[in-house]
Amino acid sequence: MAHDGKLPPPPPPEGRNPKMPGKADGGWPRMALFVAMGILIILAILTGTNGSNPEIKEITLSEMWQFVDDGKVESVKYENGSGNIDGVFTSDAQVEGEIEGEFVERFSTTGLADFSDGEAMLREAGVSFEAVTPTQSALWNLVPFLPFIFILGFFYWMAKRQQSQMGGIMSIGRSKAKTYSSERPGSTFEDVAGYAGVKREITEVVNFLKEPARFAEIGARIPKGVLLVGPPGTGKTLIARAVAGEAGVPFLSVTGSDFMEMFVGVGASRVRDLFSEARKMGRAIIFIDEIDSIGRKRGAGMGGGHDEREQTLNQMLSEMDGFEAHEGIVMMAATNRPDILDPALLRPGRFDRQVVVPLPELDDRKEILAVHMKHKKMGPDVDVDVIARGAPGMSGADLANLVNEAALFAVRQGETRVAATHFEQARDRVLLGIERENMVRSQEDLERTAYHEAGHALAAAVLPTHDPVHKVTIIPTGMALGVTMTLPEGERYSLEQAEAEDRITMALGGRMAEKLIFGEVSSGAADDLRQATNMARRMVTEWGMSERIGPMSLSDNGPVFLGDGSNSKDYSAETAKLIDEETRRILIEMEVRCANLLDEKRTALDFIARQLLEHETVNGEEILRLIAKADEPPLSSSDAGDPVEPSPQGV
């Protein structure tokens, strides 16, 4: 699945407050630092000491009168109040300063408080006189109040911080839904590859949102809630966004976990706020992803009716009953566990319509792969049909990952285009795991692994209803020492008894091959036994394929709820004993069947094992060729070739 819609803006970086730029959460604002630095600079200027100036000569009052008498003073400025006197020498006066050899032009001294007589004497001597009264700077007036300003600023900052924290607590009940406008969704049904049936089913919702009056005119009621049910990765969220894009209405998206907090009542408050916000928009779509996180059956968890999750569910049920269908609000939800939802949530009038979004079929997989390959450089040998047939059971997300893995393999190998071999490697990587080619094993381990995988491959190729063999390898892959891969030829929707028996026989093929060749079994068949036992038990308990049990469903795979520690079964101990006996009977019968098959095809088993030891990986066509070769009668003793039966220790 793919879409070309614009993504929502990224969230603010961790630890930053999006409402107050330049301020870290819980820290001082950046502006406070600059204000403090400015105040310190002003104080330094105002309180700075007037050091000695080499261009001004400090003299006494008597020396000034002597300079006046000598005619060396041009002007005098007197400060009322302080009595400070600043004067200027005449241009022809040669008065030495503090530095030897340099002359000064100005002088300063301290006069008397009453300088009226001095003023008259200066004027008689022809000296320019000026009396000034200095005015104190406004900044100096603020200096005594600076401590109080700092204290008031600190309390103001504390109040703002307290207010923001309280605002965060008070807004905890606000909905966390992300709102997408009619332009923002950007996705339509054209962006949803495949799923033609799902689109037809959900088109009715789109038509209602576009033309609600047409439905109201005839009295038809559109479903209030549409539940999208399907496995993970099938594109349920994308389909909901495509509905919003097709209808051209706002789209409110929220996940079920967004309603839950540590405070009681927060979930219910957020539900109320979500529906209130939707009503303000008129026509809108409310989409809740993973609704099973809050929609579980009530009374199944610890806490009973007072559980926060149940209060949230109760509020949601109430809100869905509160708005009428003609309001133009449609609620959509997605889940992959519809069996655990509360029945009140699924009743008519709430989520009364379920749209199944299954795993894509062959045609759907082709369309999905084509969408993901559109913007990648593909080689001429890449066939979408072949890739789609080889990816049964993959969801849209799995197919997107498959295409990306193939592109990564092409980049690692220095190719400029993605080839068919890259898709083969990507499928092995996704389904089987990473190959451990550097694992060191002894020759005996290699021989045992080769015969083990040869037993699986031979059984899968010979059994009539089993899926054909695609590839066999003895290269350690993932957690396995070897792998036999089979791929179905077409879509499968049910399993017959003969097919189930063939799968059990194939699963036991590796173990029986080891026992046939080496006379004993190893621990390498642990996973095979687990699969075979699980298949046999399901035949007995779920599928009614045991004559002694009869047509009864004895499966205990019911939904598991939090706080439900009971493990009761709906059948007696005698029935449980009978289930074990029937499961064991099926396994033993299939083991005998597998042993007879391998003993009959012993030559083919040796051929496949020898080919695996030589090439490590053998494809399905080669397996069939080796089996056909083993079935051919030798023309003569000279044409029979070397004996193929290995020694008891291996090939």
Digit-coded pLDDT (tens) for 579-595:
999 999 999 999 999 99
Tokens matching residue 199:
């689109």
CA Rg value for the chain? 45
Contact 235, 392 (CB under 8 A): no
Mean pLDDT, the chain, as a whole number?
76
Q: What is the pLDDT of residue 111?
A: 74
Residue 21 has what pLDDT? 45
CA contacts within 13 A on the Cβ side of 359: 14
CATH topology of domain 443-557+571-631: Methane Monooxygenase Hydroxylase; Chain G, domain 1 (1.20.58)
How many residues make up the chain in this entry? 651
**pLDDT of 60:** 83
Whole-number pLDDT of residue 308: 67
For 480, phi then psi, to 5°, come to -100, 150
Q: How far, CA to CA in Å, does 487 sit from each of 71, 267, 467, 506? A: 120, 47, 6, 14
The tokens for 547 are: 């004559």
Distance in angstroms (rounded) separating the CA atoms of residues 502 and 497: 9
Does 306 have pLDDT greater than 60?
Answer: no
Instruction: Find out whether 348 and 302 touch, Cβ atoms under 8 Å.
Output: no
What topology is assigned to 56-135 in CATH?
Answer: 3.30.720
DSSP percent split of the chain into helix, strand, coil, nearest 5: 50, 10, 40
Give the percent of the chain with pLDDT over 90. 12
Q: Which range, of 116-120, 407-411, 538-542, averages the lowest pLDDT?
A: 116-120
> Is 525 in contact with 514 (CB distance < 8 Å)?
yes
Q: H or E stretch including 533?
A: helix 526-541
> Is-catalytic flag, 520?
no
Domain spans, the chain: 56-135, 178-356, 363-431, 443-557+571-631
* pTM of the predicted structure, to 2 decimals: 0.61
pLDDT given for residue 176 in this prediction: 47
| CATH number belonging to the domain at 363-431, selected among 1.10.3720.10, 1.10.8.60, 1.20.120.610, 1.10.10.1100 | 1.10.8.60
- Helix spans in 432-525 (H): 443-462, 497-507, 509-518
Distance (Å) of CA 572 to CA 293, 533, 548, 576: 34, 21, 15, 6
User: What pLDDT is stored for residue 582 in this prediction?
Assistant: 93
Of the candidates 453, 514, 582, 622, the residue annotated as catalytic is 453
**Is the CATH number 3.40.50.300 carried by domain 178-356?**
yes
Instruction: Please give the Cα distance from 243 to 283 (Å, whole number).
Output: 13
* CA–CA distance, 244 with 229 (Å, rounded to integer): 18
Phi-psi label, residue 233: left if phi above 0, alpha if psi -120 to 50, beta otherwise: left
pLDDT in tens, 308-324: 677 777 777 777 776 55
| Pairwise CA distance, residues 251 & 277, whole Å | 11
**What's phi and psi for 286, nearest 5 deg?**
-100, 120
C-beta of residue 70 within 8 angstroms of C-beta of residue 125: no
